[in-house]
Amino acid sequence: IPDDRAAEEQMTKGREYLDSMRELSAELEAIRQQISYLYNVSTDAGYDRPAAGADQADENAARIENLIADRERVLSQWLDVYEIVTEVLDLLPERKQRIVLSLRYLLRYSWDAVSEETGYQIRHLLRIHNKAIAQFDEILSRNDCQMK
């Protein structure tokens, strides 16, 4: 039975990497939007109200600095995961598997958007996806990749 648990844990490792890609990408986008908002508020770009006062501008500048540090930390994590994910994607045997996983996890497409881009119905996409995840997990276990 311990072998079954190890196999089950390994079978989820590929999904962990792929989900991590989506989450880190979303986090990077959220940080980018926050920086943009704070910059716009501080410089009065696109607003019909006076620019923030000096104290508020200083506070916003400090927030922006903290967000930039957060962005660097998240980007470093994203790059680590991206390197592994793209290496494994390149080893998938079928082009359509690479496309579906890339659109879904690297580009963060919804299932509807993946369907529209590929021309496949969602039901068929899910079959491709499930097969691709199984292949992804198999490649990870063969290459003994470990999440950082």
Tell me the pLDDT of the chain (148 aa) as tens digits: 444 445 444 447 889 999 999 999 999 999 999 999 988 887 765 444 545 566 777 888 899 999 999 999 999 999 999 999 999 999 999 999 999 999 999 999 999 999 999 999 999 999 999 999 999 999 998 886 544 4
Distance CA 85, CA 92 (A): 11
pTM score, whole prediction: 0.76
Q: Residue 91 is encoded by which pair of tokens?
A: 């080893």
Distance CA 45, CA 35 (A): 13
How many angstroms separate the first and last alpha carbons of the chain? 27
Residues 6+ apart with CB under 8 A from 75: 28
H-only helix segments in the chain: 2-43, 54-91, 95-101, 111-118, 122-143
